[in-house]
Structure 1
Amino acid sequence: MNGMLVVVNKSDNSVSLINAAEHKIINTLPTGKGPHELIVSDDGKWAVSTDFVGGDSLTVFDLSTQKVSRTINLEKYPGPHGIKFLKDQKRVAFTSGKSQNLVIANIHSGEIEVAINTQQQTTHMVAISGKEDFAFTTNIRSNSISKISLANNSLLKQIKTEAMPEAINITNDGKQIWYGANEKGLVTVIDAETEAQLAQFDGFSFPYRVLFSHSEKIAMVPDFQLHEVRFFDTKTFKELGKLILEEEAGPQGITLHPTLDIAFLSLNLKNKIVAIDIASRKVIAEYPTGNNPDGVGFVSANSK
């Protein structure tokens, strides 16, 4: 697992750059106020944080030089949270909960290209289909998912959900949407086209995120309040097992290794990241972070 982890530290207004082979922090860079989410480009050259709690900005990091490249002010689109790179790796799509928009920005020019109003309250996380034709946002206070066309940048419809939806992901084939609902601790799978419910899992307290394995045969859901990760078969919808984390771990941000079926999970209340072997459902490594880590990405050592 040679490479570098990049993780936001919520309480420090910073990101930590961590040498995965040596298990140590090699640099710390500033973000805007209250960073929550973070993404890394496919080539490993760029990372972007959403400065959610009072920062109202995106911080763009040049990982090759380990410096802040630019800060994109979001005065018109405050409260940025969920974020994804688009295929060109130059633009990002992110949610602005306070302005009720899905926004597309160019991270190199700093230009805001378009904002699509969701007409819903607390637009929070975003998932994008593999063909990049649709985006789906969870809207926590409206109990809905907004379906947005990325072909013509327009709101298509609202999909009714269980109460307080937050976590969301969509399979690359665009067929399954998995989302977590916090009020009753449910994870629901729906058909992305028909909106029919395919499966539902209960017993969660705070299903924080959903991550798929590379084959997308396995879905992982960390529970922030129960301090565990649950694993599900995406074909049979059977639960495969769970990983019980250490007491009061507070799992939050989760990402996949670029090539290996290893997940990196932030333990927000323990100030560290754990690497999880998905097949065995075991922790295989730990890494130090700053205070209250969340959004995380990984850069392979051979990224160019």
Structure 2
Amino acid sequence: MMRILAIGAAALSLGACVPGGEAAIGDVQEADQRATLFVANKRGNTLSKIDLETGEEVLRRDSCTNPHELTTSPDGQYVALACYGGKTVDVFETSTLDRVNSIELGDNAAPHGIHWHDSGTIYVTAEGRQSIFALFDPLSGPSKMIEFMTQKQGSHMLAIAPDESAAWTTDLGSRTVTRIDLVGDNAPVSVTVGEEPEGISLAPDGQTLWVSARGSNQAFALDPVTMEVRSTIETGRFPLRLAIRPQGDVAVTSDLMDGGLTVIDLASAEVVRSIAVSSPETAQDRFQVTILWSGDGSKIYVAETASNTVAEVDYATGTVLRRLTTGEGGDGLAILP
């Protein structure tokens, strides 16, 4: 496995407000004490902050070009944004959305999938470089980083082992899922999984890797070590994302063409129900993408990119409780309890 050590590749802007950012909407300080949703608005090139008690957007700031996925720090004080239209990971304060760091990954990076580990390290895919990066101490730069090569096309989303021993990527262009050894010298292991695998999530117990393949309308359960496919499940149409409930009992896929969610029981690897968020007739008007569970597993948040909304869905009943207005092209989601 090729690993490239890079030091001093960060452009630091500590304490600076985002140029051109919009003013706060409502009482930001009061909203900081409540459950909060962050949304990356990829067409508007902005970052939104939504108070989940009121459902109101309390803050929106300029971010970077074509932002996609985002993740919050373990202490909840920062949110990191993958700037898919460029080559940086940008870090913002969750309270003010002031940018505190911008970490450059190199030419053609196109960062996308991102995860802020409990250790403090940020892991992010660099689709244009066929790699992932580990970014150490991302709040104070220049940042030290290591690049791990997948050597696969379209390494888009990722999952990280709790002990940081391994990472897994879904490689859209290569039709593969890749396991990367983060601590040893073993070469990456890639297996073909359906058509256009994209969604990925590691079960809380670390024993099963779950993947959704949008081009073949399927989900797969894999052994995370051997990469053997254990189960294949038929889902709704175009399962763009897969997210596991915090309780570890079910996973849901975001079925873009159906405007719904497929619920998979993880113990039996069987579909147990489906949830209609919109409908096949209105799916293109909504264009649902990223999905995210609330911390207690009672709700699912569904980004509807075309309508600039996020649907809040009650898991128990499957009811759409409300639609939250966000910026233009809301996609990536992150939540603070």
TM-superposed deviation, 1:76: 3.4
Is structure 2 residue 159 aligned with structure 1 residue 122? no
Instruction: Identify the range of structure 1 (229-238 vs 183-192) with the bigger mean alpha-carbon deviation.
Output: 183-192
Aligned AA (1:116)? F
Change over 3 Å in CA distance of 1:65–1:93 after alignment to 2: same
Aligned counterpart, 1:266: 303
TM-superposed deviation, 1:196: 3.2
RMSD: 1.9
Is structure 2 residue 130 aligned with structure 1 residue 93? no
Partners of 1:185 and 1:112 in 2: CA distance: 39
CA offsets, 1:38-67, max 9 Å, x none?
1112322111111112x2211211113331
Partners of 1:26 and 1:141 in 2: CA distance: 38
Q: Is the 8 A contact 2:47 2:61 kept in 1?
A: yes
CA offsets, 1:49-94, max 9 Å, x none?
11112x22112111133311122223336110101112223x2111
**1:133 aligned to 165, 169, 184, which one?**
165
SS in 2 for 1:98: helix
Change over 3 Å in CA distance of 1:60–1:154 after alignment to 2: farther
Q: Is the 8 A contact 1:32 1:56 kept in 2?
A: no
Instruction: Identify the range of structure 1 (73-82 vs 215-224) with the bigger mean alpha-carbon deviation.
Output: 73-82
Partners of 1:34 and 1:293 in 2: CA distance: 10
SS in 1 for 2:129: coil
Aligned counterpart, 1:195: 227
Partners of 1:32 and 1:66 in 2: CA distance: 13
TM-superposed deviation, 1:279: 2.5
Partners of 1:77 and 1:110 in 2: CA distance: 20
Change over 3 Å in CA distance of 1:236–1:74 after alignment to 2: same
Change over 3 Å in CA distance of 1:195–1:285 after alignment to 2: same
Q: Is the 8 A contact 1:127 1:169 kept in 2?
A: yes
Aligned counterpart, 1:69: 100
SS in 2 for 1:113: strand
Aligned AA (2:247)? S
**1:59 aligned to 81, 87, 90, which one?**
90
Q: Which runs of 5+ in 2 are unaligned?
A: 1-32
TM-superposed deviation, 1:267: 1.1
Aligned counterpart, 2:258: 226
Aligned counterpart, 2:54: 22
Larger radius of gyration: 2
Aligned AA (2:163)? K
Change over 3 Å in CA distance of 1:161–1:136 after alignment to 2: same
Q: Is the 8 A contact 2:252 2:261 kept in 1?
A: yes
How many matched pairs?
298
Partners of 2:212 and 2:135 in 1: CA distance: 27
Q: So what's the TM-score if we normalise by structure 1? A: 0.92
Q: How does 1:156-171 map to 2 (within 5 A)?
A: 156-171=188-203
Change over 3 Å in CA distance of 1:233–1:79 after alignment to 2: same
Partners of 2:242 and 2:50 in 1: CA distance: 24
Q: Is the 8 A contact 2:42 2:329 kept in 1?
A: yes
Change over 3 Å in CA distance of 1:75–1:130 after alignment to 2: closer
Q: Is the 8 A contact 2:167 2:182 kept in 1?
A: yes
More strand by percentage = 1
